[in-house]
C-alpha cells in the first residue's frame, strides 16, 4: 500500500465522515416523509469512530456491528445506493429489503450485519475471528457495540472466549454516554468500559473521537496486534450522538446545551479546520461537500425509484 | 451391517465427516480431554487434535455464537450442548442469529451449523434437566430439527445434519446412548425430512419419535396378542415434517394416536394432529388423540418421574381410547 501524504489521508477520511453525516440527515428526512419505517438509529456525531477504525482494514477483514450500523457500512465502502434502498425497504437494498436499518449485510465487503440483539453479536464476531485463525489466515474481525452492551452476558462470554483462545478480534465500544435514554451514571458502576478487558487479560485502549486520524492510529495498533499476534483488544471510544437513540426519541433525558457543547468537538469540524490549516482551500472543501450532496441525492433517488421486493421473497431465504 | 451403540454411531458420523471435510469441527463443554460428558466424542481429540475438537468453558451463549459466526464465513461447526436444557442460555444465538441470518441478509449469508445433545428426561435429573425442546425449536422458521430413535438414524441423520447448509438441531437422548443396533456399512446417510414406518397394522396409526418409539413398539406387541395390529411411524425429522407415510397409513386404519414425551400444550404432536385433520379428515373414524408427558415440571422422585413420562402402559391405554370411538 503506498503511503499517503497526511493531507490526502485526512481528505479521504473527511469525505467518508461527511458522506455518513449527509446520508444520515437524508435518512432522517426520508423517515419523516414516511419513506422509511420501523427503527432508524442515526450515527450522526459518531462518524470518526467507524471511519477511523475501518481505515485500518483490508479486503479479507470482517466487521460485525449493532443496529446502529449505517455509518459502519458506509465506512466499509458499501454502496450508499444499496444502503439507502435498504432503508426504503427496496429489493435493490443491501439485504434486498428483508433486513432494514438494523440489518445491513454485504458478503463481498465482509460486513456481517447489523445485529438487533444487544451483546449477542459479540460472540458471532468472535466466531468469525475463530474461523480466520482456524484457517490460518491473517484476517482481523472488528466488532462495534455501544456502552449499553457491556452489561449483558453475551459481551462477557465473547470476551472471555476471545481472550482464552487468542482470537484476532478488535472490540470497539462506542461510548456515546446514553444507553437509549439512560445515562452512563445509571447503567455502569465503572464508567470506563475498557476496564472490562482487565478481568480477561486483554489489551485495552480508550480515547475520544474528535480526531479521526488519532482514531485510525490507535485502532490501528489493535488491528496490528490482532493480525500479527492473534490477540484481541477491547477499545472504548468516547463519542456522542447528536440525535436521539432512534427517530422516536424526543431526547428529554439531556439538555440542548449539552448537545451544543458536544458539537464543539465535532470530528468533521475538526477535520475541516485541520485541512484548512494544511492548505486545503474553502473552494476545495465546498467541492467535496457538493460531491457528497450529489452522491446522497443520487442514493435517495435510486432508493425511491427502485422496486419493492416481490411476495416470492417472503420464504425464499428461510432455508438454503 | 455392524452392531454399534447409539453413542458410537454418533461418534462415527462426526469422525467420518471430520475426515472428509476440514471445515467440520466439534466444540462444547468436556468434548475433548474429558472425552465427552456422555462419551459421544471419545477418542476424537486424540484423532483430530485441539484445533478441531475444542473444549469450552461454561459459556453456552458464547460458544453457540462463535459457532454461528464461524458458520457464516463457511466453516461447519458441530456445537455440543451437554444437554439441550443448557441451550436455554444460548436461545438467542439459535433463534435470533442462526435461524435468521439468511433472511436478514437477503440470502447473502447461510449458517451451516449443527447443534446437538441429549433431549428429554434422563433418569431422575429433576425439573431443569429433563425437558423436551422440540416444541421450542420446531416453531422457528430457518431451523431444521431431527430426533433419531435408532442407532442407524443416529449416524445417518447426524451425517446429513453436518452436510446441510442450514442450522440443524439434533435431539439425541441420554437413555438411548447405550442402545445397540445395526448400522449399514459405508456412507450411511439418512436424509432429513423422511419419516420411517417401523411397523404395519390396520387398527391404529401411531406417530412418534425419539425414545418414545421404544415405548410404542413394546406396546404394539402387547396389543398384537389381542389381535390389535398398529402401524407405527417414526417421524425422525420434526422440521421439515414428512407425513406422507402417516397419511397413507391412516387411509387404511382411519385412526391415529400421537405419542410424545413432551408436554401436551402446543408442540409437535399438536402440529401433527392439525395436519392429519386437514389432510385425512375423510378417512378418520374418530378424533386423533395424543399420549404426552404430564403437564408439569419433572419431579425428582423415581416413581413420580415414571408416571410423568409416557410408558408402555399409557401407550396401550391411548390405543384403546382411540379404538373406543
For A261-312, how does the pLDDT look when each residue is reduced to its tens digit (9 = 90+)?
888 889 999 999 999 999 999 999 999 999 999 999 999 999 999 999 999 9
Q: Cβ–Cβ of B62/A113 closer than 8 Å?
A: no
In chain B, domain spans: 2-183, 196-323
Which residues of chain B fall below pLDDT 50? none
Looking at CA atoms only, how far is residue A120 from chain B in angstroms? Answer: 7
Q: What does the alpha-carbon distance between residue B71 and residue B169 come to, in Å, rounded to a whole number?
A: 14
Closest B-chain CA to A136: B51
Contact A174, A44 (CB under 8 A): no
Average pLDDT of chain A to the nearest whole number: 95
Check whether A1 has a pLDDT greater than 50: no
Report pLDDT for A2: 52
For B196-323, the fitting CATH number among 3.40.50.920, 3.30.70.20, 3.10.105.10, 3.40.640.10 is 3.40.50.920
Q: What does the alpha-carbon distance between residue B6 and residue B8 come to, in Å, rounded to a whole number?
A: 5
Looking at CA atoms only, how far is residue A103 from chain B in angstroms? Answer: 6
Q: Cβ–Cβ of B57/A154 closer than 8 Å?
A: no
Q: Where are the beta strands (DSSP E) in chain A?
A: 62-66, 105-106, 111-115, 141-146, 169-175, 178-179, 182-183, 203-208, 233-238
Contact A41, A27 (CB under 8 A): no
Report pLDDT for B257: 98
Who among A95, A103, A154 is closest to B65 (CB)? A154
Looking at the annotation, which residues of B are catalytic? 60, 129
Looking at CA atoms only, how far is residue B25 from chain A in angstroms? Answer: 10
Beta-carbon count within 10 A of B56 CB: 23
Q: pLDDT tens across A211-262, in order? A: 999 999 999 999 999 999 999 999 999 998 988 888 888 888 888 888 888 8
Interface confidence (ipTM) of the complex: 0.96
- Over pLDDT 70: what percentage of chain A? 98
Q: What does the alpha-carbon distance between residue A49 and residue A212 come to, in Å, rounded to a whole number?
A: 7
Q: Number of CB pairs < 8 Å for A and B?
A: 143
In which band, very low, low, confident or very high, does the pLDDT at A4 lie, cut at 50, 70 and 90?
A: low
Integer CA distances (angstroms), B207 to B188, B228, B238, B266, B315, in order: 24, 16, 11, 16, 11
Check whether A135 has a pLDDT greater than 80: yes
Report pLDDT for A246: 85
Domains and CATH numbers, chain A: 6-239+251-300 (3.40.50.970)
Domain B2-183 sits in CATH 3.40.50.280 = no
Domain B2-183 and domain B196-323 have a common topology: yes
Who among B70, B74, B110 is closest to A320 (CB)? B110
- A136 interface with B at CB cutoff 8 Å: no
Report pLDDT for A248: 85
Q: Cβ–Cβ of A123/B71 closer than 8 Å?
A: no
Report pLDDT for A264: 85
Q: Cβ–Cβ of A124/B97 closer than 8 Å?
A: yes
Q: Cβ–Cβ of A95/B106 closer than 8 Å?
A: yes
Q: Cβ–Cβ of B70/A130 closer than 8 Å?
A: yes
- A168 interface with B at CB cutoff 8 Å: no
- A230 interface with B at CB cutoff 8 Å: no
Q: Cβ–Cβ of A130/B51 closer than 8 Å?
A: no
Q: pLDDT tens across A26-56, in order? A: 999 999 999 999 999 999 999 999 999 999 9
Residue B281: strand, helix, or coil: helix
Looking at CA atoms only, how far is residue A130 from chain B in angstroms? Answer: 7
- A319 interface with B at CB cutoff 8 Å: yes
Amino acid at each position: 500500500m503506498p503511503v499517503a501524504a497526511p493531507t490526502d489521508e485526512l481528505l479521504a477520511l473527511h469525505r467518508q465522515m461527511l458522506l455518513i453525516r449527509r446520508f444520515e440527515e437524508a435518512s432522517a428526512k426520508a423517515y419523516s416523509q414516511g419513506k422509511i419505517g420501523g427503527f432508524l438509529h442515526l450515527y450522526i456525531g459518531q462518524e470518526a469512530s467507524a471511519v477511523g477504525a475501518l481505515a485500518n482494514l483490508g479486503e479479507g477483514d470482517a466487521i460485525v456491528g449493532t443496529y446502529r450500523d449505517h455509518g459502519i457500512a458506509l465506512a466499509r465502502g458499501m454502496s450508499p445506493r444499496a444502503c439507502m434502498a435498504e432503508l426504503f425497504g427496496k429489493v435493490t437494498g443491501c439485504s434486498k429489503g428483508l433486513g432494514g436499518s438494523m440489518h445491513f449485510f454485504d458478503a463481498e465487503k465482509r460486513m456481517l450485519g447489523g445485529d438487533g440483539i444487544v451483546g449477542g453479536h459479540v460472540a458471532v464476531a468472535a466466531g468469525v475471528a475463530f474461523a480466520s485463525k482456524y484457517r490460518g489466515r491473517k484476517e482481523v474481525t472488528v466488532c462495534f457495540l455501544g456502552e449499553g452492551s457491556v452489561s449483558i452476558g453475551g459481551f462477557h462470554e465473547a470476551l472471555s472466549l476471545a481472550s482464552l483462545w487468542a482470537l484476532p478480534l478488535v472490540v470497539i465500544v462506542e461510548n456515546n454516554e446514553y444507553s437509549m435514554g439512560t445515562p452512563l451514571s445509571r447503567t455502569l458502576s465503572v464508567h470506563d468500559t475498557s476496564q472490562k478487558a482487565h478481568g480477561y487479560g486483554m489489551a485495552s485502549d480508550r480515547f475520544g473521537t474528535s480526531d479521526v486520524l488519532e482514531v485510525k492510529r490507535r485502532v490501528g495498533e489493535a488491528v496490528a496486534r490482532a493480525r500479527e499476534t492473534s490477540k484481541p483488544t477491547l477499545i472504548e471510544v468516547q463519542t456522542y450522538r447528536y440525535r436521539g437513540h432512534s427517530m422516536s426519541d424526543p431526547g428529554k433525558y439531556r439538555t440542548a446545551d449539552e448537545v451544543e457543547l458536544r458539537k464543539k468537538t465535532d470530528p468533521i469540524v475538526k477535520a475541516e479546520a485541520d485541512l484548512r490549516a494544511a492548505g486545503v482551500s474553502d473552494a476545495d472543501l465546498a467541492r467535496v461537500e457538493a460531491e457528497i450532496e450529489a452522491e446522497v441525492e443520487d442514493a435517495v433517488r435510486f432508493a425511491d425509484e427502485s422496486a419493492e421486493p416481490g411476495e416470492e421473497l417472503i420464504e425464499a431465504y428461510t432455508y438454503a | 451391517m455392524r452392531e454399534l451403540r447409539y453413542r458410537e454411531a454418533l461418534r462415527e458420523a462426526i469422525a467420518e465427516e471430520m475426515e472428509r471435510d476440514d471445515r467440520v469441527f466439534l466444540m462444547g463443554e468436556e468434548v475433548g480431554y474429558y472425552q465427552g460428558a456422555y462419551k459421544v466424542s471419545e477418542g476424537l481429540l486424540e484423532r483430530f487434535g485441539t484445533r478441531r475438537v475444542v473444549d469450552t468453558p461454561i459459556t453456552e451463549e458464547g460458544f453457540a455464537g462463535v459457532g454461528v459466526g464461524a458458520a457464516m464465513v463457511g466453516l461447519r461447526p458441530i456445537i455440543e450442548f451437554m444437554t439441550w436444557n443448557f441451550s436455554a442460555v444460548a436461545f438467542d444465538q439459535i433463534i435470533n442469529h442462526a435461524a435468521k441470518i439468511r433472511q436478514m441478509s437477503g440470502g447473502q449469508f447461510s449458517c451451516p451449523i449443527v447443534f446437538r445433545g441429549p433431549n428429554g428426561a434422563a433418569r431422575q435429573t429433576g425439573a431443569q434437566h429433563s425437558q423436551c425442546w422440540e416444541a421450542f425449536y420446531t416453531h422457528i422458521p430457518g431451523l431444521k430439527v431431527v430426533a433419531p430413535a435408532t442407532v442407524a438414524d443416529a449416524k445417518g441423520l447426524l451425517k446429513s445434519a453436518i452436510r446441510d447448509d442450514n442450522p440443524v438441531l439434533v435431539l439425541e437422548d441420554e437413555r438411548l446412548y447405550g442402545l445397540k443396533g445395526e448400522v449399514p456399512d459405508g456412507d450411511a446417510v439418512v436424509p432429513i425430512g423422511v419419516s420411517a414406518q417401523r411397523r404395519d397394522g390396520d387398527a391404529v396409526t401411531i406417530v412418534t419419535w425419539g425414545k418414545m418409539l421404544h415405548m410404542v413398539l413394546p406396546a404394539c406387541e402387547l396389543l398384537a396378542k389381542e389381535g390389535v395390529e398398529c402401524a407405527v411411524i417414526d417421524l425422525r425429522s420434526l422440521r421439515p415434517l414428512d407425513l406422507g407415510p402417516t397419511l397413507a397409513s391412516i387411509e387404511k386404519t382411519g385412526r391415529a394416536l400421537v405419542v410424545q414425551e413432551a408436554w401436551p400444550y402446543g408442540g409437535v404432536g399438536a402440529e401433527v394432529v392439525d395436519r392429519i385433520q386437514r389432510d385425512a379428515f375423510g378417512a378418520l373414524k374418530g378424533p386423533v388423540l395424543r399420549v404426552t408427558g404430564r403437564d408439569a415440571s419433572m419431579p425428582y422422585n423415581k416413581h413420580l418421574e415414571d408416571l410423568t413420562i409416557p410408558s408402555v402402559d399409557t401407550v396401550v391405554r391411548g390405543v384403546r381410547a382411540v379404538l373406543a370411538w
